[in-house]
Amino acid sequence: MTPQPSLFLWIPRSGGTSIWGTIENNNASTQRVGVAKDRIFCAVTEATTFQHCHIPALLDAGVFLEAWLESRFKFAFVRNPWARLVSVFHHLKQGRDDQKEAVRGLSFGRFIEQACAGDIPPVGIKSRDGLSYANPQVDWLTDSEGNWIPDFIGKTEHLKADWRHVKGQTGLKGNIPGRANRSKHAHYQDYYTERWRAMVAARYQQEIDLWRYTF
C-alpha cells in the first residue's frame, strides 16, 4: 500500500524509543524534529515526530499548518501511569545533567508528591524542563479545549500488536524487537506505599479510567 503520512506523538517513557527506532530503521523518509523555531514545517515524509513537544502548541506557534496536521495519521502510545512514573524518575536520575538536576535531592516519594500536586512545568513547545515528563499522558494528546489529537492510541503493554495496527493504517514497515532505552530499576510496584499509590490514582484518574489501568 502507499504509505499514509503519519505523525507520532511521543509521550516520554512510553516506548517511544523502540517505536521511533523501528520507524527510522525501516522506512526511507522520516523526520525527527526537536524544538522547531519560527518556521513553517511542511515536510513531505512518511513519518514525522516532534519528540515530546505538544502538538497544539507547535500549531499555535506556526511551526506547521493545520492542513499539514490534518493530512497525517496521528498516533501515540500510552503506559500504565504507576509504571511510567517510576520510569520517569529513574530516567531523570540517570539522564542529562539538567535532568539529574531536576530530581536532585528528591526521594521517589517526594517526586510523587510534587508530580501529583501539579507542581511541574506543563507540556508545551519544549516539554523537557524540570519534571515536565511527569505530566498526565492525556495532556500530550489533547488541546486546551480537551479535543483529542491522535487518530489511534496504542498501549505499551500491547506494543507489538498495537504497532501492527499502526502499520496497517499507514503502510509503515518494520517489526518492533522489544523495549529500548529502559531505565534501570526494580518492578514498579516495589516503589509505592499505599499513600503514594492512591495519590497517583487521584492525579492520573482520567488516563487510568480511559485505558483501564490498574496498579
Residue range 121-130: average pLDDT? 84
Of 40, 38, 51, 57, give the one whose Cα is nearest residue 7: 51
**Alpha carbons 43 and 40: distance in angstroms, whole number:** 9
pLDDT above 60 for 181: no
* Cell (9 digits) for 57: 502548541
At 16-73, the pLDDT tens digits run 999 999 999 999 889 888 765 555 566 667 899 999 999 999 999 888 889 999 999 9
* Whether the Cβ atoms of residue 63 and residue 36 lie closer than 8 Å to each other: yes
Q: Which domains does the chain have, with CATH numbers?
A: 6-210 (3.40.50.300)
* Whether the Cβ atoms of residue 56 and residue 149 lie closer than 8 Å to each other: yes
* Cell (9 digits) for 160: 507489538
At 129-160, the pLDDT tens digits run 779 999 999 999 999 999 999 999 999 999 99
Of 53, 60, 76, give the one whose Cα is nearest residue 7: 76
What pLDDT, on the 0 to 100 scale, is given for residue 127? 76
* Cell (9 digits) for 43: 515536510
At 72-122, the pLDDT tens digits run 999 999 999 999 999 999 999 998 888 888 899 999 999 999 999 988 999
Single pTM value for the model = 0.92
